[in-house]
Amino acid sequence: MLKTFFRFMKLMGDRLPIYLGAILLSTIGDTGRRIANSYLIKNIVTAAQTNQFDQILFVVFINFAVFVLGLFLWRFGIIRYNIEAWIGAGKIEKLIFSKAMRLPMSYYEKNHSSDFLSKLIFDARKALDIYTSRLRRLLSAILSTVIYLIPMLYFSWDLTFCLIVISLLAFWINSLFANPMKKFGRCLSAQNAKMLEKLTNILSGIELIKVFPVRSRILKEYEDAGKEYFHIQKNGNRLSAGLECLNCMFDLIGALAFLGLGIWFVSLGRINLGELTALYVLYGAFRNVFSEIGLYFPQLMECIANAEKIFEFLDLEEEPKQWNYKESDNKIEDENSENILSMKNVSFSYSNERKILENFSMEIKKGSFVAIVGESGCGKSTLAKLLLGFYPLRSGSILINGKEYSKLTLKEIREQISYVPQEPYLYETTIAENISYGRYHANREEIIAAAKAANAHDFITKLPNGYDTILGERGNTLSGGERQRIAIARAIIRNTSILIFDEATSALDNESESLIQDTIKNLKGERAILMIAHRPSSILSADMVVRLEL
């Protein structure tokens, strides 16, 4: 727990001292002016009792000066620390995003995207509370307790001592709640991810839900998740209400003990009434911060649970920079420089149960057009993904332009391959930008040229905003064929030595398809083109046909 907390604080890096300094400053400012206030009261009450008023105005003036100074310090500190807190929060969000983009492919297959989004929207937000309020309140509470103690001890050390005992008892009780609160935080966070998944079902499955009779089930699942969330919240409410009432009890006991003892001490003549009142005012503030400790300590625990969730995510293993294969395979070098791509004895399976590829070898020369055919589910798309380095091989090796995969970083490998998947994904941005994702700094002419090559230029210019049309989610404002053509333009503009088309022209009419096929064939030149296909038209014109079997 402490480890998580310290790690969370360390995320702030160099700015941590500024942040802590700002908290310290604001606390000093705040407590300072309150202590001054209590002195004022002491003097006023004493004056009222003794009828000596000559010092009063001077005291008021001093008090006012301290008040202004304290306020100034406090504001300065509070602005600074809030800014630092938000910068820290932004940093965490960036880290979560970076992580989410760099996990191994298997993560995305096994986990729902709501898992990551929940971390970003929910956990990061809750953990941010550590920076913005929970920690500050706790720290300044502890700090001001210590600061308040000094004048309190000065007014009456024995009375203050009794109060400290009661307060420490209260603090101990509070700390007992830490673990249950943390557990509660974890449950809530996990349930939030589940709820978000059910919500995504509604949002992305809306078309299906409207036509098929699943509405009640999908809604019920979402409602159940929402109710479970409520249920967890309810348990948490009980916990924190219990804690709050215990604190209130200690508060009352403290107040009453204070009164009882105070009256007794005054009657014994150990302190005078003015001091007692001042002490009471201080004690009021002291108790206030103490009940804040009671209130914010468990909340801090809850937030730490969220921070833990974030760290679990940040600690997930990333996709490595390159796959490390055994040393023995390293010596293979391709003699034949004509070969742009060669696979040697490649075996691969997702799990141990079923081998997708076994001792698969092929060689692809420059300028060749290769069709890959086979039954659905036999591993055609997997082959493409292996070439892209999405998964490590079980055995065997792949060479690209004469270089072994194990000697190249995944980034270098991917720089040489353009992939157009079956259901090409388009981003929620302009068409021009979607195409430029193939080559980020491409200018408009290059983009248009690529779109023309992909037979997409005509329909794009027909759109009201042309190339600047912003696409809807998943490009859903376009038809399947239009999406495919943009995806192909994106691949073409990249100008890589290998192009892989995975049923990339399936949603096109014959005319567009044959136009694109021609373009693709013209691209051959120094490149190699792999086309996962089933149409006779594509297969017939191939230089080589690779048939995969189950």
According to CB under 8 A, which residues from 485 to 504 bind other proteins? 490, 494, 503
Terminal-to-terminal C-alpha distance of the chain: 50
Stretch that binds other proteins, among 135-143, 157-165, 261-269, 301-309 (CB under 8 A): 261-269
Q: Which is nearer to other proteins, 345 or 477 (CB)?
A: 477
Which single residue is written with the structure tokens 């098929």? 212
Provide the mask over 167-206, with x wherever binding to other proteins is found by CB under 8 A and - wherever it is not: -------------------------x--xxx-xxxxxxxx
Long-range CB pairs of 447-453 (<8 Å, 24+ gap) are: 447/489, 447/493, 449/493, 450/489, 450/490, 450/492, 450/493, 451/485, 451/486, 451/489, 453/489, 453/492, 453/519
Which residues, numbered 203-242, are part of the site for other proteins (CB under 8 A)?
203-219, 222-223, 226-227, 229-230, 233-234, 237-238, 240-242
Distance of alpha carbon 435 from alpha carbon 488, whole angstroms: 9
Beta strand 368-374 with 357-365 is: unpaired
User: Is residue 248 a contact point for other proteins (CB under 8 A)?
Assistant: yes
Q: Does residue number 144 form part of the binding site for other proteins (CB under 8 A)?
A: no
- Restricting to residues 310-339, name those near other proteins by CB under 8 A: none
Residue 273 is a binding residue for other proteins (CB under 8 A): yes
Nearer to other proteins by C-beta: 1 or 203?
203
Interface of this chain with other proteins, residues 453 to 472, rule: CB under 8 A? 459, 463-464, 472
> Nearest distance from residue 87's CB to other proteins, in Å?
6
- Using CB under 8 A as the binding rule, the residues of this chain from 9 to 48 that contact other proteins are 33, 37, 40-41, 44-45, 47-48
Residues 96-115 that bind other proteins (CB under 8 A): 97-98, 100-102, 105, 108-113
Q: Taking contact as CB under 8 A, which single stretch among the options 60-68, 160-168, 171-179, 393-401 is the one that binds other proteins?
A: 60-68
CB of residue 283 to other proteins, shortest distance in Å: 10
User: Do residues 451 and 460 lie in contact, with contact meaning Cβ atoms separated by under 8 Å?
Assistant: yes
- Our finding on whether 512 is near other proteins (CB under 8 A) is yes
Strand, helix or coil for residue 544? strand
Q: In what order do the strands lie in the sheet with 544-548?
A: 417-420, 498-502, 528-532, 368-374, 544-548
Enumerate the H helices of 156-214 as residue ranges. 157-176, 178-204, 206-211
Residue 63 binding other proteins, by CB under 8 A:
yes
Strand 528-532 relative to strand 498-502, pairing = parallel
Q: What is the DSSP string of 369-417?
A: EEEEEE-TTSSHHHHHHHHTTSS--SEEEEEETTEEGGGS-HHHHHHTE
Identity of the residue, 315 or 509, whose beta carbon is nearer to other proteins in the bound complex: 509
CA distance 186 to 195: 14
Among 1, 7, 55, 86, binds other proteins (CB under 8 A): 86
Which residues within the stretch 355-384 sit at the binding site for other proteins (CB under 8 A)? Answer: 373-377, 380-381
Q: Does 58 bind other proteins (CB under 8 A)?
A: no
Write out the H or E segment, with its range, that includes residue 327. Answer: none
Task: Tell me the Ramachandran region of residue 345: left when phi exceeds 0, alpha when psi lies from -120 to 50, beta otherwise.
Answer: left
Among positions 25, 357, 393, 417, the unique one binding other proteins when judged by CB under 8 A: 417
In the complex, least distance from residue 387 CB atom to other proteins, rounded to whole angstroms: 10
**Residue (347 or 514) nearer to other proteins, CB:** 514
DSSP 362: E
Contact between 323 and 347 under an 8 Å Cβ cutoff? The reply is: no
Among 321, 407, 411, 444, binds other proteins (CB under 8 A): 411
CA angle at residue 490 from 487 to 493, to 5 degrees?
150
Closer to other proteins at the Cβ: 395 or 537? 537
Contact positions with other proteins (CB under 8 A) in 419-448 = 419, 421-428, 437-438, 440
The answer to the question of residue 158 lying near other proteins (CB under 8 A) is no
Looking up tokens 């009657």 gives: 267
CA distance 224 to 246: 33
* Nearest partner of 431 among 398, 391, 464, judged by Cα: 464
- Span of 70-78, 177-185, 337-345, 357-365 interacting with other proteins by CB under 8 A: 70-78
Number of residues counted as binding other proteins (CB under 8 A): 158
Residue placing its CB nearer to other proteins in the complex, 294 or 396: 294
- Asked if 253 touches other proteins (CB under 8 A), the answer is yes
Q: Show contacts with other proteins in window 338-357 (CB under 8 A).
A: 353
DSSP state of 503: S
Candidate list 281, 400, 447, 516; residue touching other proteins; CB under 8 A: 281
Nearer to other proteins (CB atom), residue 426 or residue 520: 426
Question: Is residue 379 classed exposed, middle or buried when 0-12, 13-18 and 19+ CB atoms within 10 A define those classes?
Answer: buried
Contact 269, 286 (CB under 8 A): no
Contact 92, 127 (CB under 8 A): yes
CB of 165 to other proteins, least distance (A): 17
- For residue 249, state whether it binds other proteins (rule: CB under 8 A): yes
Tokens of 6: 């310290």
The binder of other proteins chosen from 20, 62, 69, 121 (CB under 8 A): 121
Give me the DSSP letters along 435-466.
HHTSSTT--HHHHHHHHHHTT-HHHHHHSTTG
